[in-house]
Each structure stands twice: as structure tokens, then as C-alpha cells.
Structure 1
């Protein structure tokens, strides 16, 4: 394996124009319409989402962020986050798979060794419409990545041997490429944090199918076990040198979560509107003839809609800010990275709280009949309640508050 100088140019420049946003908003809306009818069944069966991913491929959404020079659609991150949000309104599991795909695919840029290798990865991904996932969960034990010259295993093929278990590997069971990494032992990358992309069905890659949680049931979030998996030079993306630019991937993940939680609120409101308009009569003490005309219902809905729209405005602004930040490439400074991190942490706070509130309080206007399992209104709350616990929002509040008062910035991690 050979090491190249890390490139410093980002393949994403400028901002999305109205035509781009309108085009892909329409595409994502159409796909969301196709996904909506099967969302509840996917939740109930925890089925691996192969068909939804095929819909995303057919619509061009899988290649959305790959530059056109490499065969992709050449869109911007603001557009991608908006597309994710539209999909997540009807199915948060599929929305997150798409968002993770974008961020893991972009590891080719964040950790990529040089522009020629970057071009090769993106060109192959676009041509094959690869779906990207990862098994980088920081709370799981580190993976073992040990150099083997080929004689120890008797294969004659030199490379690293990957072993270990990673939990919560969302999308890995249906992905073409899984981003993973760890500290290499021996070989060219000895002692370095090497990042690579392994085929999802390579020999020794075992998908445990052990996801059994309250929500996100269609997200293919089970564990991945690696048993002596061969990692060759062709699999290596690069080395994590802890540069500010490469670590922008984490604020990107947090921005994805903020958009997902917002989408949960928007989806819950949309279904609640339909259910409320269909309710006959009104409460016996009300002066209105229908629940939909009751001022108390109006007050509740108005409060929830206003808060949701405020979060939407913040998310849209941060989508554009992310495009500005990522365009800096290797010129990104620690201060640039910190500014982005704190801004997105603010979104994470309000989107979590609004998403939880809206998905719970919509029952106040939809009534007891909406608690039927066949209606599925509970999916929204179950999804956000499940996901938001993996990254406690109280620590985001501390992060934002400390920075506002003292200028303190949390150490860079896979959560900050």
C-alpha cells in the first residue's frame, strides 16, 4: 500500500440555486409518495429496506452529491439535506439511510488520499450506484486491524485482517460499501487511524440482524461482526490525520440528525392534520360543530406548527452554511470547524425537543381513535424517542452554553 499526500480541494463549491432545489425537491417528494404506503408495514416487519433503496437509486438520489465530472448529479449539501428531510417525513429509517449514505460516501473526500483516488472512488460509485454505510460507532470496542503478509493465513494475499464487532451499524446490512477504520498494527499504516471501505458482502462480514428496539425498525441498524476480513490497498480511503476539514463529517452527521428530527415533527403534523379533518362532530362542551373548527384544537396546532417552522428555518440556513464550510476544503481552520459545530448543536437541541413534543402532543387533537395500531401515528414518536437517546441532548445544551459564556469548544469527537 502506498500513501499519497492528502488533497486540499473540496469537490463541492458554491451554493444550490433555485432550479436545483426545486428539481430535487420534486424528485424527493415523488419518492416519498412512493414510500409512504409501505412505511408502516416496514416498521412492523423490520424488513431490510432493499426496495426503498432501489427507489432512491432509480430517482437519482443515490448519486445526488457525486460531482457531475465523475458521473453524479452534481448537487449541493443543502439540496441533499432537504431531500433527506422530505423522505424522512414519511419514513425516518429510510431518510436516515439516505443521509448516512451521503456522509459516508463523502468520506472519500474527508479522508481521501489524493484527487485521482477521489475521482476513482466517485466514478465507480456513480457507475454502480453504490449505497454507503459505516460501522464506526464510537461506543463499541475498537476493531482489530492487523497486517498479514499473506503467509499467516495461507492465502498468499497481503493486506490487513479486520476483526471485531460494531453495534448500531445503520444500513450496513443493505450497503454496497461499509466505511470502517481503526488503529492499524503493522504494515505501512502502523500506528495510524486508517479508514477504508469494505464490501458489504465480503467473506467474513457477518450482519447480526440483532436490531430490536422501540423505533427505527426499518433502518437495518443491527451489528456487524468482522471475522478475519481481508482489507487490501484498493479498499483504503486514507488516514485520519485529525485535520479540521476531515472532522467536518461529524457536524454533518449532527445536521443530518437535526433534519431527521424536524422531519419527524413535520410528518406527525401532516398525519395529524388528515386525522383531525376526518374527525366527526366535536367535544360535547365545545361550541364548534367539528373538532377541526374548535379553537382549542386551533391553539394546539398553531403552537406546534409555529415551533416546527422555526426549526425548519434554522435547518435551511444551516444547510447553506454547511455548503460554505465544506467548500473550504483543506483551508478549513479549527475556528471554522468550531463555528459550524456550535451552530449545528443549536439545531440539534431545538429539533430534538420540538420533534419529541410534536410527535407526542398531536394526539391532543387527533383523539383517542388515533391511538389504534392500524393508524401508525405512534411511529413518529417511537422513531425520535429511540434515536435521540443515542446522543443525549443535555450535552449539546452544555456545549452551546459553555461556548456562549466562555468561548469554550468541546474536544473534537465522533459526537461533537
Structure 2
């Protein structure tokens, strides 16, 4: 499989395939699909978490359901949905399986790198069409805290060497997006973004992911040994242009939605367990835990706080469609504004999600700690992923902007 065709003399032009907003029909259609996928995943989610096995069957389900091609324009063979819908779909799946929701969300964002980093509209369209035709799942090995990859010219091609940790989904994906500063050749000194077949010669998936949460996310490292990278693999060059970096607020917005989905899933499971819980605490004066005012108070607090996060997430999901529609007309101010708003979501979704996933045990009792029930999966997933980048720096980012109007330097975390 070749990710992109050889460069041609096609006209270079701005390209932003996402326009307008999702209507009710679009949202209802794909939320229904997401619920069906979540129901299928729920059957064995606890067993898959325990086994720490590669999520081969869940990823096949994402392809079969049409979700892999959700954001590809209709004219390129996809479903032409909007980011608002995509984030809501990821949230829905995260209520049951955050690992699979993460793989799906990353697939959309990495697939979109052909647009964010690309400058050749014809080539970007071709990449998206190929992706839709093959129902490709995309991943990346862009982790900025890992050592940089070495991309060194070898004649008219490059050789890629190095190792990246935390390459979520790469071991079960079709495509890996990566980047490196080229040494020599046509792109000497440029930060080149390229897309590689996940099973290309010289790529080794390390299988070293064994953490307390996100166990079904295939988040192990990737090692590259003399991997051939040609011009056909290059999807763009990062020149610090505002539109290309809009992908990062998209990543953080995905996180906020997944954290919210985890909280919603914990509440849903906690409510079911509470309704089924027999008897009541002897001092409560009621016959069932579900009738205890203490239980009502606690659920009321957690549900209300979760609903507030949902309102913010829904607003930002819709607004992200406005930002990506600007394409190359995106300004630094446009990019900074969405970055700050998404940082606010990241703060509250982390705080509320962790509180809900932890306190729900107070309402469901000691019996809910049985391993077979899997209520702990919500907390373990969120606790693990919320360490992706320190939320304290998001608080600082929001506070510095509120007081002084300052914006943090653009990075793969901001």
C-alpha cells in the first residue's frame, strides 16, 4: 500500500473540506451507529481489558460500521460528516470503551493531517479517497517527549530511524503519521510530516503497553530501522502556519469529550448498580438505596456537574467546525481563541471525570468493586490518560490568558 501517489504538477491551492454544521439527521444517524458499536464493545470490554490484547476485532468493527470514513468528504468516498458529530460519536463510545474511542478519534485527526499539513489540494483529496476506499485506520508516533526521529537523505529518498513511545493504535492501524526534521535532500532542514504503511519493512511494534488503564488501546511504542520514506509518503511540511496547528486543539478537544464520556459511562453503570442494590443503610429510614436521600444528593451533584461539562463540550465541538472551515485563512488569533477555550474544557472534564469515576463507588457499595463488574475501568482509563499532559499547565494557560491576554507557545500539547 502506498499512502499517496507520486507528486504531480497539480495546482497548489487552499483545501479545507469541512464546511457548515451538522444537522439533526446527521447527528442522529451517527450517534445511533455509535450506540450500536458501544453495545457490541460492552459484551467483552472487561475481558479485553484484563487480557491487554491487541484490539483487532474492535478496530474491524470501526471499519465495518463506517466510522473510519466518517469525516472524509462524500466526493472522496466518505460520509461527509462534521467534527461536531465525530466528537459526539467518540464520547458515546467512550462511555463503554475509552480505549477504542481513543483509537477512533486519533484515526480521524491523523487522517486529517493530510489536510492540515498539506498544501496540494489534489493530493490531499487523493489521500482521503484512498483512505475511504480501504477504510483505513490512522495512528501516529508523534510523541514530543520521546527522542526525535532521524530522517536522513539516501539518494532521492530518506531513511527513518529511531523509536517513539505511546503510539496509540499503531499496532492495529493501517497508517502511521510521523514527523522528523530532514537532513539533506529535497527537504533539508524542514520538519517533514509523512504517512507510512504500519507494516512497512523496518517498522517494529514493541508491544510494551501494560498500564493500569487504556489497556485495550494498543499504545505501545514503535521502532524504526532504516525505514524507506519517499516523496510519495510526504503529506506536508510543518512551517508553523496557523491552520496546520489547529489539529492540536482538536486532539485536546477529543480528550475532553472522551473524559466526559467516561464520566457519563460511570454514571450510567453506577445508576444501574444502585437501582439493583438490595436493602438500604440502616440509618436511612428507607427500604432501598435508590430511595436514600443521601444517594439522591450525591447523584444530583455528580450529574449536574457532568451536565455542565457536556454543555461546554457541545459548544466547542460545534465551534471547531467553524475554525477548520477557515482553512489557510486561519489566523494566529483564531487558533489561540480555540486553544484557550479547549484548555478550559480539558481542566473541567479532567476534574469532573475523575471525581465521578471515583465517587460512584460510594453510591454502589463494596459489592461494586468486584472485578467481574468492571466499574473500576472508568477510573483506571481516565486516571491513565489524564496524565497525557499535565492539567496544571492547562490551568496556567487559562489563567495567564484571563489575566494578561498571553498565549502559550504553539506545541503538540497546546
What TM-score comes out, normalization by structure 2 length?
A: 0.97
Give the corresponding residue for 2:316.
318
Correspondence list, 1:6-405, <5 A: 7-149=13-155, 158-405=156-403
Contact 1:245 1:337 in 2 (8 A): yes
CA distance in 2, matches of 1:387, 1:55: 23
Q: 1:136-180, CA deviations, whole angstroms, 9 ceiling, x for partnerless residues?
A: 00000000000101xxxxxxxx41100000000000101100000
In the TM superposition, what is the alpha-carbon distance from 1:58 to its structure 2 partner?
1.1
Contact 2:11–2:121 under 8 Å retained in 1: no
Q: CA RMSD in A?
A: 1.1
Deviations 1:318-377 (Å, cap 9, x if unpaired)?
000000000000000000000000000000000000000000000111001101111111
Q: Which runs of 5+ in 2 are unaligned?
A: 1-5
For 2:188 and 2:143, the matched residues in 1 are separated by: 22
Say whether the 8 Å CA contact 1:165–1:225 is kept in structure 2: yes
Q: Secondary structure at the match of 1:169?
A: coil
Contact 2:168–2:217 (Cα < 8 Å) also in 1: yes
Aligned counterparts of 2:403 and 2:85: Cα–Cα separation in 1: 33
Structure 2: how far apart are the matches of 1:389 and 1:5?
43
Measure, in 1, the Cα distance between the counterparts of 2:387 and 2:34: 28
CA distance in 2, matches of 1:97, 1:386: 15
Contact 1:245 1:329 in 2 (8 A): yes
Given that 2:14 and 2:119 are in contact with CA atoms closer than 8 Å, whether structure 1 keeps it comes out as no
- Structure 2 counterpart of 1:152: none
* Count of aligned positions: 408
Paired residues of 1:207 and 1:224 also in contact (CA < 8 A): yes
**Contact 2:273–2:364 at 8 Å: present in 1 too?**
yes
Gaps of 5+ in 1: 150-157
In 2, are the aligned partners of 1:5 and 1:113 still within 8 Å (CA)? Answer: no
Structure 1 residue ranges (4+ consecutive) displaced by more than 3 angstroms after TM superposition:
1-7
Q: Describe the SS at the equivalent of 2:69.
A: coil
TM-score w.r.t. the length of structure 1 is: 0.97
- Quote how far apart the aligned CAs of 1:59 are: 1.0
Q: Is the contact made by 1:279 and 1:290 (CA closer than 8 Å) also made in structure 2?
A: yes
Deviation at 1:6, TM superposition (A): 5.7
Q: In the alignment, is the contact (CA less than 8 A) between 1:7 and 1:330 conserved in 2?
A: no
